[in-house]
Structure 1
Amino acid sequence: MIRTLVVDDDFRVGQIHSDYVRRVPGFDVVGRAVSVAEALVAVRAQEPDLLLLDIFLPDGSGLDILRRLSQDQGDTRPDALVITADHDISSVRAAMKLGAVGYLVKPFGAPDLAERLLAYRRLSDRVDALSRTATTDQADVDALFSAARPPAALRIPAKGHSAPTLGAIHQALRDSRGSLSAAEAAEATGVSRATAQRYLSYLVKEGTVRLELRYGTNGRPEHLYRLAR
């Protein structure tokens, strides 16, 4: 689980964002903070992996938190996804320079946050995998940087499709490095086979996934799915 700390000075908004995070597979909310001071204490106490970080706080800026953590913890500080109503380019540039992994402008909905969180999870998983190897090549580096970006085809799911489920199915296909059946996708994501089949069919229609047929001894083809190149 990716341990997440939500930092927002509006208690109600912080609760909504916490609920959004809990809906995304692989994420857990370990605490909330409403100020710079509270956030710094919570980081030491909870040791989160990721901050959902507002910029406008009553005792300073969320960017001050990143500066302070960079000084105190260096490379071991938690990652940060900035979530704020501040769309000034200077704030965006400052967040980038301070190492924020994303910048999401309020107001936004659960699907918008979910796709950023799923992209972050892909990045985290790939970093963990590469850290177990002695060297990397250019393909590994390219994959690492592309993992942080939400797949374009998943940004606006069709009505009746959940962004977290869609992202989980897509991630299962990425992790397989090959083909998956609907049953295998269901097992990997924890959804029913019928649900996996419905989402896979949607991804095929969108051109993100390719359908393949594999014929067995009984002559009936098995439907397999792999990411389209």
Structure 2
Amino acid sequence: MSGRVLIVEDDPFMGALAETLVRSTGRTARLVPTGAEALAQLAEFPPDLILLDLGLPDLSGLEVLRLLRAAKGWGSVRILVLTASHRTEDIIAAKKAGASGYICKPVQPDTLSEMICDLLEQPNLTWIDDYTRAHRLG
């Protein structure tokens, strides 16, 4: 299985969990704690998927998302927002900014692993979230 996943998460526990889950799916993972570091990693570690926290210490996750979507060559990379915000406004803003999906913390490890696989293995998938996925599959 191929797939490079860039994890943008400032919480050490959540970052380690996400990194472990990504690797358990057979993918390569790289963890960075800030939006600036994520943007700097793109040339060195071009990801197929980005797990992006909205609450980063430097740039907001939404700003990182907008910058990625505006950057040449990065308009189609899959971006899964992984955040503590359950606010409908944030979900809508992430989708409008170009997110491929949204999952809320605390996260069920199996759900996150399956969503990562879904985004990497289903090229026609346009949106995924933990609420509708649970209802679709459950």
1:114 aligned residue: 113
Partners of 2:126 and 2:63 in 1: CA distance: 28
Greater relative contact order (Cα < 8 A, sep 6+): 2
Provide Cα deviations, 1:73-98, integer angstroms capped at 9, x if missing partner.
Answer: 25545220000001111111111112
Q: CA offset at residue 4 of structure 1? A: 0.2
What pairs up with 1:79-228 in 2 under 5 angstroms?
79-124=78-123, 144-145=124-125, 150=133, 152-153=136-137
> Structure 2, unaligned stretches of length 5 or more?
none
1:44 aligned residue: 43
2:22 aligned residue: 21
Higher Cα Rg, which structure = 1
Q: CA offset at residue 59 of structure 1? A: 0.8
> Structure 1, unaligned stretches of length 5 or more?
125-143, 156-229
> Which protein has the bigger helix share?
1
Is the alpha carbon distance of 1:58 and 1:107 closer, same or farther for their aligned partners in structure 2, counting shifts above 3 Å?
same
1:53 aligned residue: 52
1:62 aligned residue: 61
Aligned residues: CA RMSD: 2.3
Partners of 1:83 and 1:115 in 2: CA distance: 14
Provide Cα deviations, 1:9-42, integer angstroms capped at 9, x if missing partner.
Answer: 11222011100111114x221x211111111101
Q: CA offset at residue 44 of structure 1? A: 2.5
Query: Is this contact kept in 1: 2:54–2:83, CA < 8 A?
Result: yes
* TM-score normalised by the chain length of structure 2: 0.84
Provide Cα deviations, 1:55-114, integer angstroms capped at 9, x if missing partner.
Answer: 000112111111111222255452200000011111111111122111000001210101
Partners of 1:59 and 1:78 in 2: CA distance: 22
Partners of 2:99 and 2:126 in 1: CA distance: 16
Query: Is this contact kept in 1: 2:49–2:80, CA < 8 A?
Result: yes
More off after superposition, 51-60 vs 37-46: 37-46
- The percentage of counterpart residues that share the same residue type is 33
2:6 aligned residue: 5
Q: CA offset at residue 146 of structure 1? A: 8.1
Query: Is this contact kept in 1: 2:66–2:98, CA < 8 A?
Result: no
Q: How many residues are matched?
A: 133
* TM-score normalised by the chain length of structure 1: 0.53
Partners of 1:75 and 1:15 in 2: CA distance: 25
Is the alpha carbon distance of 1:49 and 1:7 closer, same or farther for their aligned partners in structure 2, counting shifts above 3 Å?
same
Secondary structure of the 2:90 match is helix
